[in-house]
Structure formats: C-alpha cells, structure tokens
Amino acid sequence: MLSLNTPALDFGWEGFHPVGRSLIIADLQPHSLGGHFGIWLNRMVREALKHFDGLAVYVADELSVPDLTSLDAEDREKISIFQIPGIYQSKRFVGDILGVISAHHGARNPDAAGAPLFLMWAQQYIERDLIFPPQKSWLPWRKPISFGSPWGSLTSVSSVAHGASNVPPMEQRIHEELTANPQCEAVFLWDEFAVQKYGAKYLYLPDVEPIESDADWRMPQDGAITVGSVGQLWGHRSMNLLAEILDQESALQGYTAGVLRPESYSPAATDLLEKRGVRFRCEEGFVEDDRELNRRLRQMDAFVIDSRSYKCPSGLGIRAMAMGRPLVAIDTPSWAASLIREEGVGVFWKEGEGALAQKLCAWYFSGGADRSIKAGNRLSDQRCLEKACAEMFGRLKKRSESISTQA
C-alpha cells in the first residue's frame, strides 16, 4: 500500500478545514494545454461550490489548476489544491489512484473522511488499470486500496453507444465498470444520443461553448467554398478526411488552424500540408483566446469531422454550428452523423461522388444555417449545464450524507 508520505504527492495549499460535507475533484488529464480541459475544471469547481462546504481539488499537472481569480474571498477559502505530478507514468499507482486520494483527504480532514469524489478525464487511467485494479494484480505482495466512497465522472462512451465497428478498449471498459460499480452515482456525457440510449447513471452535460453569431455569413455561390477544421488537428479527427475531400473535390478550398499532429496524418494529409498554398491555408499554433478561435472558425464555410474514426462530440463543431456553418462528415455511427441525420445540421460526403459543393449550397438554401444555429445554441445551454451539475452533485451529496448517518 502506498504511503501518504510518498513524494509522488505534492501537497499544495494548507489550511483546508471544511465546515460540513466536502467534495474531492480529481482532474487527471495530463496534457490539458490549459484550454478546453482547463475550462471544464473551472466550471466544475464553480458548480460544486453551490452544493458543498469545501472542495479538495487534485490535479495531475500544473497546466490544469483551476483559475480562482473570479471567485470571491469566501469561496476561495473553501478550496484546497493538490498536485499529483507524474501520476500517469507511475506504475506504483496501479489500481490505487482513488484510494490514495481519498485516504490523503481523510487523513488531513478526519471529519471529511469518506467524502464523495468527482473524477474528470478517466479514460486512459481506466485502460491502464490506474483506477480499477486488474483481477489479478501483477504486484502480488500488495493489496489495492479499496475506494468505497460515492463518486461520479466526466468521461466518454460515444463509440460504444453508436455501435462503432472499432470501439476503443478503454471506452468499453468505462461503460462496463461505471454502470456496474455500486459506488458510482452518475456519469456525465456530452453525447446526448448515448444518454438517451443508456439512461440510468448517465447524465447529459451540454458542452457549453463561448459561441457567437455570424449574421453576415452566406454560403459562396461562386463555388469558392472553404472547408476545414480548427483546434487539435489530429488525423483521426479531421485532417485525414479533409485531405481526401480536397483531393476529390477540386472546386473546394481548405483551411485549418490549430496544433498540428503530423505523426497521426495519412500520406494524403502529409502531402496536403507540404503543398499548402492558395487552395489550402493553415494557421499553426495553440490559442486560448476565444475571440481568436471564433475568428478562425469564420474563415471556413463548413466544419469537417472525420466520423469514421472520431465518434465523440466536438465543442468546436458546436461553435461552428452556432455560426450557421454546416458539419461535413461520413454517414457512419457517430455523434456528428447522428446530428446530421436527425437535425439536418450538415451534409454527408461520399468518396467518388464529387458533389460536395452542390450539396453544401443546397443545404444552405434549404434553411440549413437556421437549423445549425438552433442546434448549436441548444447544445451550449448554460441552464442545462447547471441543471445537470445540480443532479450530479445532489446525488453525491445525498449518498455521502447517508453513509455518514449510518456510520
């Protein structure tokens, strides 16, 4: 069993003494870049403060520490932050992350022992047995710490829910563990389809984005339509499909902006980047400013999501929809394809068809922009986010209070 004095835990702020029931928030994403992941940690901290007297926040790196500057002094005093450097690389944590965090919190705050935990970004930790221990531990001389407190999570099971042909093992295991685990009270999903399919512990959490309208935008009628993507430019998210589209649809132009991930690109995507010019533009680099992200989104007339390999919801796709832009995807099981089929927020591209420009124009003149704006705003509803958080944290608080009464 790991000692609470292990140097792997860097105990941050001191003086955390919750008056009543406390909540542990563990943000285990080791490569947040301080962007989208950091925004969600800040939101969860603010929502949890409405329901608990104290928060203990454990973060896996220095990039995703919550920004407390907008909180008043009274709320800031309710929060303690602890860093857990190198947790993803450490084999010592097999099956013990939840137990170590819970034990550390209870040791510092005896009155808060058994506090509920809200776990963020759990996927890769479940896959590597860093949360749920394997059936037969490869460390036979150790017994995994048992985590018996109530808990909830923010995660993804989109590939499982949409019946994708290739389901990542971590998503399959998430679905099995979280639905079967009696201590798990609720799971947040951005994918509305998945929540409707599975119900029970799954709660729909809108991916609230800083959206802006673009009333002056019109689909170009001269055929100079620009398709592209913004954000983390992974091959499986957008770049590989964009390269295929531009190769076959000679009337279209391409645009991308964000962080390049060349190691994930197909030969066609690599070739596209090397030959960038008038027909294809690329703005490289990560930006945190939402106004700059929205400016980049305005550079394109359609937002590409490779629904063959990226099944999950897209926050930037929601922003694009709220600006009246269509999604371009392939008709396969995925979040994007479901929205296109059910709400008409974009069009499907078919290899060899060569008619994407005409499809996009027809979509626009059929009122597609209005449909996308409506869907984008619905998927980014702050009131629904607050309602979902109230349900999640209400369940955790009720269960923890019940445990305390029994004890």
pLDDT digits over 125-149, tens only?
A: 665 555 655 555 444 444 444 456 7
> Which CATH code, of 1.10.10, 1.10.12, 3.40.50, 3.30.70, is assigned to 22-207+381-406?
3.40.50
pLDDT for 1 beyond 50: no
Angle at 119 between CA 183 and CA 387, to 5 degrees: 85
With cut-offs at 50, 70 and 90, classify the pLDDT of residue 166: confident
Selection from 372, 253, 230, 354 nearest residue 303 by Cα = 230
Superfamily of domain 226-378: Glycogen Phosphorylase B; (3.40.50.2000)
pLDDT of residue 114: 67
With a pLDDT cut of 70, the percent of the chain lying above it is: 78
pLDDT of residue 126: 63
With cut-offs at 50, 70 and 90, classify the pLDDT of residue 2: very low
pLDDT digits over 73-108, tens only?
A: 889 888 888 877 666 555 555 556 666 676 677 666
CATH topology agreement for domains 22-207+381-406 and 226-378 = yes
pLDDT of residue 99: 65
pLDDT for 393 beyond 60: yes
pLDDT of residue 335: 95
Q: What mean pLDDT value characterizes the chain?
A: 82
Q: How far is CA 333 from the centre of its chain?
A: 19
For the chain, the structural domain boundaries read 22-207+381-406, 226-378
pLDDT digits over 215-264, tens only?
A: 889 999 877 999 999 998 999 999 999 999 999 999 999 999 999 999 99
With cut-offs at 50, 70 and 90, classify the pLDDT of residue 39: confident
Q: What is the CA radius of gyration of the chain?
A: 23
